[in-house]
Amino acid sequence: MRVLGIESSCDDTGVAIVEDGRKILGATVRSSSRIHEDFGGIVPELASREHVMAILPALHSVLTSANVPVDGVDVIAVTRGPGLLGSLLVGVTAAKALALALSRPLVGVHHLEAHLYANALVEPIIFPSVALLVSGGHTALYRWSGHGDLRLLGETVDDAAGEALDKGARTLGLGYPGGPAIESLARTVTRCDLSLPVPRLRRPIHPFDFSFSGLKTALVDLAKNHPHQVDELAFALEAAVVQALVEKTVQAALAEKVKRIYLAGGVSANLRLRQAMTEMAGAQEISVLVPRPQDSTDNGAMVAAAGYYAWQLGGRMSLDQAPKTPFSLG
């Protein structure tokens, strides 16, 4: 079963062909992030325009590299939401046109669930488990009991973890995107005398909720007193974010009595997060699975993988359905 996946929820145009939900036959991602650098964040109108320009060349590139004719695709999967509405509209329109022209079934995929299925590109998913979705726009913990069976355990009540890193990078003058810049600078630090409080909610609505807005304020105050120690400030920010994520995730896995944790989303590419999560979970005999770094950020392969399992469950998107944002999960 060959599934063509299209991702266009933000600034990356991703197209891929995946066989049986696991084997990537061809994939490409075309990013417009450089265009947004001068603005310090994503400009929705520019992102939409770039998707329009990139979608057909990306599709042609994937079909060529996979050596698959366009009519050799069995299912079309596309990110339906959440995301930037204009960006989503480009991908959904392209997917509808292909589905109509080829008489193929169309599957609408939830963007966050697609990130989870980046793990299926490494090895088969094992249930039950706890999944941490962590990106620039989302931070949430789920109990993942089966395909299509996700239950929310906790989420951020304000800023997402990736957003905290992006805003922190802006405070430190490191530019956009902030997460990779923070990680790169933090790696150069061999000794750090600065620290930031690990964000913990005293009275969370759910026991596994997160909060990162206060961390941004704490960073601003610390930077005023140590303006020339940018590398240590980056190290301290990354350490606080990572510890908060790791603590809550391992606690959730213990509370749910599962022996496996899946990481997903752009921030899951952070090496420090991967190492810390593996170490703390390992001490509790809990295994940690992570996507390949290139599959952690937005891409078409994760959409194709998620689409394969959604198709098996009977998921379909009709030609009169529109992109959906906001779009709840679990």
pLDDT digit string, tens, across residues 133-154? 998 888 999 999 999 999 999 9
State the CB neighbour count (10 A cutoff) for residue 126. Answer: 14
156 and 272 housed in the same domain: yes
Write the DSSP assignment of 60-87 as a string of letters.
HHHHHHHT--GGG--EEEEEEESS-HHH
50 and 193 housed in the same domain: no
What is the reported pLDDT for 254?
98
196 and 250 housed in the same domain: yes
Domain that holds residue 214: 126-290
184 and 214 housed in the same domain: yes
Indicate the average pLDDT of the chain. Answer: 94
Between 71-75, 174-178, 193-197, 224-228, the lowest mean confidence (pLDDT) is in 174-178
Q: Is residue 322 part of a domain?
A: no
What is the reported pLDDT for 136?
81
Give the DSSP H or E segment for 26.
strand 23-31
Q: Is residue 321 part of a domain?
A: no
42 and 134 housed in the same domain: no
| φ, ψ of residue 297 in degrees (nearest 5) | -85, 175
257 and 194 housed in the same domain: yes
67 and 50 housed in the same domain: yes
Q: Encode pLDDT of 267-290 as tens digits.
A: 999 999 999 999 999 999 999 999
Q: Is residue 280 part of a domain?
A: yes
29 and 88 housed in the same domain: yes
135 and 160 housed in the same domain: yes
Q: What is the C-alpha separation between 44 and 88, in angstroms, rounded? A: 11
When pLDDT is cut at 50, 70 and 90, the band that residue 40 belongs to is confident
Q: Examine the pLDDT at 29 and tell me if it is beyond 80.
A: yes
Q: Is residue 318 part of a domain?
A: no
**Number of DSSP helices (H) and strands (E) in the chain, helices first:** 11, 10
Residue 289, beta-bridge partner list = 262
Q: Which CATH number belongs to the domain containing residue 89 in this structure?
A: 3.30.420.40
Q: What is the mean pLDDT of residues 180-184?
A: 95
Give the DSSP H or E segment for 183.
helix 178-186
What is the reported pLDDT for 281?
98
12 and 130 housed in the same domain: no
Angle between helices 213-225 and 230-256 (to 10 degrees): 150
Q: What is the C-alpha separation between 11 and 6, in angstroms, rounded? A: 13
Q: Is residue 139 part of a domain?
A: yes
State the CB neighbour count (10 A cutoff) for residue 203. Answer: 5
38 vs 227, which has greater pLDDT?
227
40 vs 124, which has greater pLDDT?
124
The total number of structural domains that make up the chain:
2
What is the reported pLDDT for 308?
98
256 and 136 housed in the same domain: yes
What is the reported pLDDT for 194?
96
Q: Examine the pLDDT at 41 and tell me if it is beyond 80.
A: no
Looking at beta carbons, which pairs linking 274-281 to residues 24 or more positions away fall under 8 Å? 276/242, 276/243, 276/246, 277/132, 277/245, 277/246, 277/249, 277/250, 280/246, 280/247, 280/250, 281/249, 281/250, 281/253
Q: Which of 106, 132, 127 is nearest to 307 (CA)?
A: 106
Q: Is residue 327 part of a domain?
A: no
Write the DSSP assignment of 113-136 as a string of letters.
HHHHGGGGGTS---SSEEEEEESS
Can you tell me whether residue 278 is helix, strand or coil? helix
What is the reported pLDDT for 203?
66
Q: Is residue 319 part of a domain?
A: no
Q: Is residue 267 part of a domain?
A: yes
50 and 189 housed in the same domain: no
